[in-house]
Amino acid sequence: MPSQLDIQKTLYNTFSECRTECRAGMPSQLDIQKKCTTVYPNVELNVDLECRASSTFENKHTTLYANAELNVELECRASSTFENKHTTLYANAELNVELECRASSTFENKHTTLYANAELNVELECRASSTFENKHTTLYANAELNVELECRASSTFKIYSTTLYPNVELNVELECRASSSFKNYYTTLYPNVELNVELECLASSSLKNYCTTLSPNVELNVELECRASSSFKNKHTTLFANAELNVELECRASSTFKKHCTTLSSNVELNVELECRASSTFENKHTTLYANAELNVELECRASSTFEKKHITLFANAELNVELECRASSSFENKHTTLFANAELNVELECRASSTFKNYCTTLYPNVDLNVELECRASSTFKKHCTTLSSNVELNVELECRASSSFKNYCTTLYPNVELNVELECRASSSFKIIVQHYIRMSN
């Protein structure tokens, strides 16, 4: 805790009493010293808007006391030399939001802590200094949502540990870091009743991710491992309200790739758009999804020309067995791809992007609900004129896997579906053309 010697607080029990001492010299306003600015308790709103443009003033303390509705501290300061010793928001029944926008290149933010809140704990720490050190940022258990949004733009800082404790609804760790030299030693999400999602967006070209494991989950186990090139920028990551979960995972790894729009529509169960595109040098040692009562989906999209994928296996599932193997290398070998019998759907998704391989036979046996022949091949001479999905009560899946490194995906949209609408468009050939994607084939 910082020293309290410089703090001068005067708190009265009345609704509002403010003591402001403004001294303005005749020559200029650069010597103004505002000793204290205090907003007393208010039933509706406490807002302290202090906009100061002097380059020499010192703001000793700015404190907002507990309020029944909202505590918002908006401190916009434009000085390059001031020091903000402490900014603390106490527990609030509705929302604790600390918005600290600072534009100084030399200040130090010693500690920023949000205490437990019944609704939401959000720590928004946007700092633009290249030398500051963020020692610790921790969010305590919350009944609704724990979200840690840590956007840091320094190229030298180190974050040693970031941990989210168990949560009844959702544990989401959003760690967006743009440094090219940091190391993320461990990121772990504990079991959760609804969903365990590990969102690890790392933008370094030299990092190593040693292990990423998701434990069994009653609803869905999704391992989203998006690792990117050293030049990409993740502009925004937003979770919208949904009856179950709306997750927009926009992981872009190529330095030339442009994704213009990605939209997830509301869905009763889950709308997940997994677009994983990767660096040309990373190695993914192991990715395993355990058996799940609803859905086993292994979305492993890798765009490297040198990696080797040893084994990809999906266990039997009562609803759906989907093996999505998107590979964009011209030299890889796919040893075995097997889908076990399923009462609902047999889908063989064999997407290969090599210009020399031969696919001798791809056959889908009759199915009660759906016959889908998804044969996406990315040879430089192959032309596929039609790719068809017949109408189905359970699932419409259009899996068009193409793995070109220069294509542009202008729009990817998921429409509402009773179970799941997944559009996985991975394109793998730089010269592949699919002429027609609209051919209806009714099932018996």
Listed in sequence order, the residues at least 6 apart from 177 whose beta carbon sits closer than 8 Å to its beta carbon are: 150, 152, 159, 184, 201, 202, 203, 204
Q: Are 97 and 75 in contact (CB under 8 A)?
A: no
Q: Residues of 115-152 as b/e, b for ≥16 C-beta within 10 angstroms?
A: eebeebbbbebebebeebebeebebeebeebbbbbbeb
- Helix, strand and coil percent figures for the chain, each rounded to 5: 0, 30, 70
Is the CB of residue 106 less than 8 Å from the CB of residue 129? Answer: yes
Which amino acid, residue 184? N
**DSSP annotation string for 79-109:** -SS-------B---SS-EEEEEEE--SS---
Q: Which residues of 370-400 are buried (b: 16+ CB within 10 A; e: fewer)?
A: bbbebebbbbeebebeebebeebebbbbebb
Q: With contact defined as beta carbons under 8 Å apart, do 284 and 307 qualify?
A: yes
pTM confidence score: 0.11
Phi/psi for 226 (5° steps) reads -110, 115
Per-residue pLDDT of the chain (444 residues; tens, 9 = 90+): 444 444 444 433 333 333 333 333 333 333 323 333 333 333 333 333 333 232 322 333 333 333 222 333 333 323 222 233 333 333 322 233 333 332 322 223 333 333 332 222 233 332 222 222 333 333 333 222 223 333 222 222 233 333 333 322 223 333 322 222 222 323 333 232 222 233 333 222 222 232 333 223 222 223 233 322 222 223 233 322 222 222 333 322 222 223 333 332 332 222 232 323 222 222 332 333 222 222 223 333 322 222 233 333 333 322 233 333 332 222 223 333 333 333 223 333 333 232 222 333 333 333 322 333 333 322 222 233 333 333 322 223 333 332 222 222 323 333 332 222 333 333 222 222 232 233 233 333
- Radius of gyration, CA atoms only, the chain: 27
